[in-house]
Structure 1
């Protein structure tokens, strides 16, 4: 009995030529039966909390003097980055909540803590753009909607 397996290879992993796909988990598989298909992405989503560590690349070149500079420190905050495929832009924000939204990118809702500026802030930062980055930071949303509660930013957007 054979079961179909699906592997997601992000576009950023692929080169224009000379790609080699090595699948090690196959047992009794049939490598000649493997095909590669493309999909069309119409939605992008980001879900990041204040406790997420920023990307390691943002740590490069940081020293104590730079760390104390608020503009440099702002670059080390966790961020939600939305990126549509080439040729598509963010055309609609389906959901945006800065606070403690519940769920994940497939099923979400506003939680008990929510900044009412979430949607307009995200629309201003992202509408019409292919890529947008929003820091998970109270000042970005005007103020702290519920002091003392760890914040999360969840954004779901449509690309057309």
Structure 2
């Protein structure tokens, strides 16, 4: 059975037009855009629920035995959430049919087998001299972008020194990263938190799980550690992913009012200098802290007295320790210190 959706209008705008590449709304009315999105999603969900969409594709059959392979749509989708175990995957009832001019064969009840993983993983494309290297051909021109199930390869020089190394995968989609044939982990950098879910931190009133959320509009993980034992020298750096070394001589903390800020140096070193100390609406992150519109005066001397010369220190973040300052809103204490 086929479902034909010819045209839906909502507020005078045909739904199907919104899927044409390059077409833009002639309005900045965000509520209108939101309603359009909700309406389209509702219609598609109704059609999917009634199972009215049918995928058809011409096939070429050879004499004798033929194999039909299907790629499960669960690959690349969310793999967690409530009642995930009840979500249908793979062949969820069918039907899967071969339709000819004279007859139709239902394959739904035939013997099916399944294979997990990807072909490139099985053939170890991530190894420099993989066992299938003679049949592989890496393309250096017109590297595909925004395309799933694609292997990307590049070489780079090992950063000088012995400081820890991390790779920034913020510009990537979803997949797994390898360095010198060793996996450094799976990533899903383009799956970001809803920017509307973070609000000014305020612990007053009834508790809820949406209080004081941070990191909105960003992935759950961006930086991935690369052990130096994985790195090799003598390779030109053609990688478009950013590699950085981390200076373990810098320690930072950014704590909201009412909590305790703690700093600790590693390797038996002590805190020798305070590079940054502000109490107010602090902006930025470790290594790039900036003072916001308002901040209390005289914060650095308080932090220096408590921390300089110590292996570790703790400070209660409260107005009585640093002063009220100008302005209002939630306040935080941000500190960047040097270990020597």
Same fold (TM over 0.5): yes
Partners of 1:28 and 1:84 in 2: CA distance: 29
2:181 aligned residue (13, 30, 38):
30
What does residue 133 of structure 1 align with?
A: 314
Query: More helix by proportion, 1 or 2?
Result: 1
Structure with bigger gyration radius: 2
27 and 155 in structure 1: CA distance in 2 versus 1, 3 angstrom threshold: closer
What does residue 330 of structure 2 align with?
A: 150
Q: Given that residues 179 and 230 in structure 2 are in contact (C-alpha distance below 8 angstroms), is that contact kept between their aligned partners in structure 1?
A: no
Alignment of 1:9-158 (within 5 A): 25=176, 30-31=181-182, 35=229, 41-50=248-257, 77-141=258-322, 143-146=323-326, 148-158=328-338
What does residue 69 of structure 1 align with?
A: none
What does residue 65 of structure 2 align with?
A: none
Give how far 1:158 is off: 0.4
What does residue 56 of structure 1 align with?
A: none
Which sections of structure 1, spanning at least 5 residues, go unmatched?
A: 9-24, 51-76
Partners of 1:28 and 1:152 in 2: CA distance: 38
Give how far 1:40 is off: 6.0
Give how far 1:30 is off: 2.9
What does residue 22 of structure 1 align with?
A: none
What does residue 159 of structure 1 align with?
A: 339
Which sections of structure 2, spanning at least 5 residues, go unmatched?
A: 1-152, 157-164, 168-175, 184-226, 232-245
Aligned-pair RMSD on alpha carbons?
3.3
Count of residue pairs the alignment pairs up: 117
Partners of 1:118 and 1:42 in 2: CA distance: 22
Per-residue Cα deviation, 1:42-69 (whole angstroms, up to 9, x for no partner): 110111223xxxxxxxxxxxxxxxxxxx
Runs of 4+ that moved beyond 6 A: none
134 and 29 in structure 1: CA distance in 2 versus 1, 3 angstrom threshold: same
